[in-house]
A and B are shown apart, each in its own frame.
Chain A
Amino acid sequence: MNRRVVITGLGVCSPNGVGINEFWKNTLQGISGIRFIPQLEELKFSCQIAGEPQVTQDHINHRFTTLEQRGLNASGIVYGVLAGMEAWEEAGLPVNETPDYDTGIIFGTGILGVDKFREAIHKIDDGNTRRLGSTSVLQTMASGISTYLNSKLGCGNQVTTNSSACSTGTEAVLMAYERILHGRAKRMLVGSCSDSGPYVWGGFDAMRILPTHYNDNPTEASRPMSATANGFVPSSGAGALVIESLESAFERGATIHAEISGGFMNSGGQRADGSMTAPNSQAVRRCISQALKTSKVHPDEISAINGHLTATKKDPDEIYNWSRALHRKGNEFPAINSLKSMIGHGLAASGSLECVATVLQLKHQQVFGNINCEDIHPDILEHISAEKIVQQSTAIELNHIAKASFGFGDVNAVVIFSKFSG
């Protein structure tokens, strides 16, 4: 298989920036998108902070017609459409008048249109099903986001929504990569989204895995790799990428941001040390190794890692697994960061948000700094030296970056992104 696969478009709707320019600028500056959410306090949540993209009415008017805005009550769709349309336009692709059978969409989510569904539930329970309106189904079916995007774009290849918890966005990238590699599509709009709000985050609050002592200082709450990490901060948003065959990108003179060299997905079967909420370490290491093998990138060639690193007790385990899988430790370990320190855990959106950030790093040859980990966890320092955990955004020669997402249910996805050198 000699086909090469590249990235030709990027879009983002993040708690610390709506749109690629604002997002990248803020991320480089270590600006957090975590805020105190009054509604969570009213509803007696223990964790009353979260990440929510600051979407304005102007943003919405830009992408949604007046008609589309009627009864629109699905924040995941708003975020996904904003990110997806930005990526599409940035890739220089047209809105299709007739179906483009060469282009598809894989846009994932974990749960969609939660607020709209709540609206529907109340109406149905009150005996008022007849008042649901015609878009209730569209806004709440999981594939609503890929369908909604396609109503605007006219793609005629596979159009679907994948779902694998926190690995959803990264998995979507790999599914598109494989489809294009096998010649079944020329390009795919890829990404994932996650609604914001108490109904999405409540279940996590109930599991008591979120930070509860940072309601007064939200920006310091998300602390991946820190000795004082105390749970992930719930978040939301969407990331989007246009993934394309190199041949097609050249043919239409598209700007190429980076290349996908390879990747892998697997599961730890929730066996050994794996469970619903914790990964099987051996499976994680296998996933990293397989990703490297398929990409033909040697472990020593990895310039940086963008980790899953959620700020739970599992962070040191993840670092250990990276170290073992790459056979690199101490000072030899690559630079590593986690976007979650600034935007929290976007759940199903996390993989795509973080893949976008990873590609931006390659494009700009800069690694963004981590915040909230001046106090690195001692278990981590047993395996890698402190300087590897980048504290300030730095220019580094970046050739290959390994990006991983590990999801609830012991599911793993690792992508090897590479600088495009022609």
Chain B
Amino acid sequence: MIYDKLKDIIKVYLPEDVNVDSINKDSHLMNELNINSAHLVDIVLDIEDAFDIEIANEDIERMQTVEDALDVIEGKLEA
């Protein structure tokens, strides 16, 4: 399941004070999950490797919440 794979990727980047159970579809990556903005590019690389897709810069800008990331992934997989 895409969502589970994505959660596994994101949880590596969670700061110590945020639990993996806090992740849900409308979680904002930086504002709610407190992920360091510098790590967004790392999350994108992990997503590219896990799903064998390529994500463009414009797509990265769109990825604010977990739901946004799912949309981007599903979009690329359908292409």
Contacts and interface: CB of A to CB of B under 8 A. Distances in A.
B41 A67 contact: no
A67 B38 CA distance: 13
A70 B38 contact: no
A130 to B, nearest CB: 8
Interface string B4-44: 00000000110000000000000000000000001111100
Interface residues of B, number: 8
Contact of B12 (A67, A134, A135): A67
B2 interface: no
Interface string A105-131: 000000000000000000000000001
B8 to A, nearest CB: 12
Contacts of B38: 134
A67 B13 contact: yes
A66 B12 contact: yes
Nearest to B40: A134
A133 B42 CA distance: 5
A133 B13 CA distance: 13
Contacts of A67: 12-13
B45 interface: yes
A71 B12 CA distance: 13
Among A70, A131, A134, A135, the most chain B Cβ lie within 10 Å of the Cβ of: A134
Nearest to B38: A134
B34 to A, nearest CB: 13
Contacts of B39: 134
A133 B40 CA distance: 9
Contacts of A71: 42
Contacts of B12: 66-67, 70
Interface string A276-319: 00000000000000000000000000000000000000000000
Nearest to B13: A67
A140 to B, nearest CB: 15
Contacts of B45: 131, 133
B58 to A, nearest CB: 13
A134 B36 CA distance: 10
Interface in B40-73: 40-42, 45
A71 B39 CA distance: 12
A150 to B, nearest CB: 16
Nearest to B49: A131
Nearest to A137: B38
Interface in A53-73: 66-67, 70-71
B24 to A, nearest CB: 21
Interface of A: 66-67, 70-71, 131, 133-135
Interface of B: 12-13, 38-42, 45
Given A133-B41, A134-B40, A135-B42, 7 more contacts: A66-B12, A70-B12, A71-B42, A131-B45, A134-B39, A134-B41, A134-B42
16 contacts: A66-B12, A67-B12, A67-B13, A70-B12, A70-B42, A71-B42, A131-B45, A133-B41, A133-B42, A133-B45, A134-B38, A134-B39, A134-B40, A134-B41, A134-B42, A135-B42
Listed from nearest, the 3 A-B pairs whose CB atoms lie closest are A134-B38, A134-B41, A134-B42
